[in-house]
């Protein structure tokens, strides 16, 4: 027996069929799928007995969890497809109840409300009952978070495009939104005295500015720094979303001064030098919680914490990366080349200087040279090229953040996140992240999203309802310069 936990579940199982199932190989898994699902997914109680039906035994939840963990990735896809298709909503029953609801429209209100309630109950997928029971088992909530991560991966990779899989993801998301509501989350400040396991996970999960060693981690939770995380009682020792904050005199315009500042490691904090809080990294650690609002609540809670610790503090701002900018720019230049047009995103003088700096002829050659420069980041090593490209790249970046949309909202996901929170697109910073990653993603440019606390609610409403981006004069000026040069 390779799977000892499965053996324990076997010993608890009274159904002889379980022994018969486990005697089949786990590889392929198919012979056991129908049988185990039929056994562990409880039927939806009738409407009349919905509050009186006894819960299934805990062993059913454990059996489902152990089986799923033991099978291979390709079998998980088949298993989830079968779960979502065969144990979802009873569509025929829903249709019948919908017709009955139409027939009651001329009846009294009490009859109509009861018909609506019956219809609402019939729309509950059968597997939702199973998920609710699994959440009560030890480790059950974490299992369901990971299960949804698998479902999201299936959807994004288009391994399965059935609507049932998307409905399964939506059901899980709805449950997770309830279980991870802000009132059930605990805010923890992470320090060097925090448990080693938590510190290690903070380091491993960091996705924005990866940590190089333990000294780097110690600095990021030390003086002039704050690290906060949301945790949940059902997932002890597991940070759900992590926010790193730098305490500075002014709003930082580059990340080097924050993540490479060794002088703060053993310094004593001087309150007189702390006027601003810079949110320079926020990381969601659980892919399965995608779409569950956590990051925006974390920022708001941290602002309250910092205001309590530093009552005089009035400046709150992010220092954010711009993932996708270089990819967008490469695509834009590629489209010009495909159309056989000379890009008008640079002025004639700027194109001339690019040509001279790269020894390329005007026109297509200069466009291709610029594409290569953006792709390789080699321009960073030339002071002349850096000077030539700065005004053009700043204009292009401003337009990408402010003007490029997806369904009317900011195309850039980081911009969309902060704008939804009510922040102002405040300042775009040149050579703010000179790391290879920063240059490859955004030509080394970063942006401050400033949180003016008296305006965040208003800005959030304007953005979410009217798709209005609140931006500073600097950003709007760069956007205006771009529009003068380009026909976009």
Buried-exposed string 240-252: b where 16+ CB fall within 10 A, e elsewhere: bbbbbbbbbeebb
- Cα–Cα distance between 68 and 149 in angstroms, integer? 14
Q: SS3 for 454?
A: coil
418 is catalytic: yes
Q: What is the rounded distance in angstroms from the CA atom of residue 432 to the CA atom of residue 73? A: 41
**What DSSP letter does each residue of 381-393 carry, written as one string?**
G-HHHHHHHHHHH
**Judging by DSSP bridges, how do beta strands 225-232 and 241-248 pair with one another?**
antiparallel
Tell me if 159 sits within 8 A of 199, measured CB to CB.
no
Alpha helices in 136-244 (DSSP H): 140-156, 163-179, 196-205, 214-220
Radius of gyration for the chain, computed over Cα atoms and rounded to the nearest angstrom: 28
Helix axes 58-70, 4-12, angle to 10 degrees: 150
Q: Do 336 and 371 meet the contact criterion of CB atoms below 8 Å apart?
A: no
Q: How far apart are CA 32 and CA 9, in angstroms?
A: 15
Helix (H, G, I), strand (E, B) or coil at 194: coil
Catalytic residue, chosen from 320, 342, 382, 460, is 320
Cα 347 from Cα 352, distance rounded (Å): 9
What are the phi and psi torsion angles at 138 (to 5°)? -60, 125
Q: Which long-range contacts (CB under 8 A, 24 or more apart) does 24-32 make?
A: 26/70, 26/71, 26/72, 27/72, 27/75, 28/75, 29/71, 29/72, 29/75, 29/78, 29/79, 30/75, 30/78, 32/67
Give the chain's count of helices (H) and strands (E): 22, 9
Neighbour count for residue 161 (Cβ, 10 Å): 9
Q: Is the Cβ–Cβ distance between 373 and 432 less than 8 Å?
A: no
Question: 122 with 93: CB under 8 angstroms?
Answer: yes
Question: Which residues lie closer than 8 Å to 138 by C-beta, 6 or more apart?
Answer: none
Cβ pair 247, 274 in contact under 8 A: yes
DSSP conformational letter for 211: -
Task: Answer whether 50's CB lies under 8 Å from 124's CB.
Answer: no
If DSSP codes are grouped into helix, strand and coil, which group holds residue 83? helix
Of 418, 442, 457, 480, the catalytic one is: 418
Catalytic residue check, 320: yes
Kindly list the catalytic residues: 320, 418
């Amino acid at each position: 027996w390779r799977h000892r936990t499965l053996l324990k579940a076997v010993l608890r199982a009274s159904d002889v069929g379980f022994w018969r199932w486990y005697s089949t190989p786990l590889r392929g898994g198919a012979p056991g799928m129908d049988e185990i699902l039929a056994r562990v997914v409880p039927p939806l109680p009738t409407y009349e007995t919905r509050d009186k039906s006894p819960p299934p035994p805990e062993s059913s939840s454990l059996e489902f969890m152990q089986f799923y963990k033991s099978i291979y990735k390709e079998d998980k896809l088949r298993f989830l497809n079968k779960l979502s298709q065969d144990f979802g909503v009873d569509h025929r029953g829903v249709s019948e109840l919908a017709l009955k609801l139409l027939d009651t429209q001329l009846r009294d209100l009490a009859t109509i409300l009861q018909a609506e309630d019956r219809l609402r109950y019939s729309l509950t997928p059968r597997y939702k009952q199973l998920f609710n029971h699994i959440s009560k088992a030890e480790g059950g909530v974490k299992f369901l978070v990971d299960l949804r991560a698998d479902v999201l991966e299936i959807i994004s990779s288009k391994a399965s495009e059935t609507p049932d899989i998307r409905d399964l993801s939506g059901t899980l998301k709805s449950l997770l939104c309830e279980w991870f509501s802000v009132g059930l989350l605990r805010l923890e400040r992470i320090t060097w005295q925090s448990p080693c396991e938590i510190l290690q996970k903070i380091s491993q999960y960091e996705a924005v500015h990866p940590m190089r060693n333990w000294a780097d981690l110690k600095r990021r939770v030390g003086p002039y720094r704050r690290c906060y995380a949301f945790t949940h009682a059902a997932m002890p020792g597991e940070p759900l979303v992590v926010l790193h904050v730098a305490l500075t005199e002014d709003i930082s315009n580059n990340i080097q001064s924050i993540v490479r500042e060794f002088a703060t490691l053993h310094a004593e904090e001087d309150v007189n030098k702390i006027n601003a809080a810079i949110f320079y990294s926020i990381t969601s650690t659980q892919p399965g919680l995608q779409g569950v609002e956590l990051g925006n609540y974390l920022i708001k809670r941290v602002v309250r914490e910092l205001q309590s610790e530093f009552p005089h503090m009035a400046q709150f701002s992010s220092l954010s990366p711009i993932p996708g900018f270089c990819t967008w720019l490469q695509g834009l230049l590629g489209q010009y080349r495909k159309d056989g047009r000379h890009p008008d995103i640079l002025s004639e003088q700027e194109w001339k200087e690019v040509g001279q700096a790269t020894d390329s002829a005007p026109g297509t050659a200069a466009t291709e040279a610029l594409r290569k420069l953006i792709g390789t980041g080699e321009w960073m090593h030339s002071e002349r090229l850096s000077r030539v490209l700065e005004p053009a790249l700043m204009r292009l970046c401003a337009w990408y953040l402010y003007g490029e949309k997806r369904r009317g909202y900011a195309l850039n996901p980081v911009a969309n996140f902060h704008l939804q929170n009510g922040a102002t697109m405040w300042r775009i910073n040149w050579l703010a992240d000179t790391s290879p990653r920063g240059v490859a993603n955004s030509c080394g440019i970063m942006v401050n999203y400033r949180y003016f606390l008296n305006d965040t609610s208003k800005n959030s409403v304007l953005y979410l309802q009217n798709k209005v981006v609140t931006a500073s004069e600097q950003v709007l000026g760069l956007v205006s310069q771009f529009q003068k040069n380009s026909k976009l």
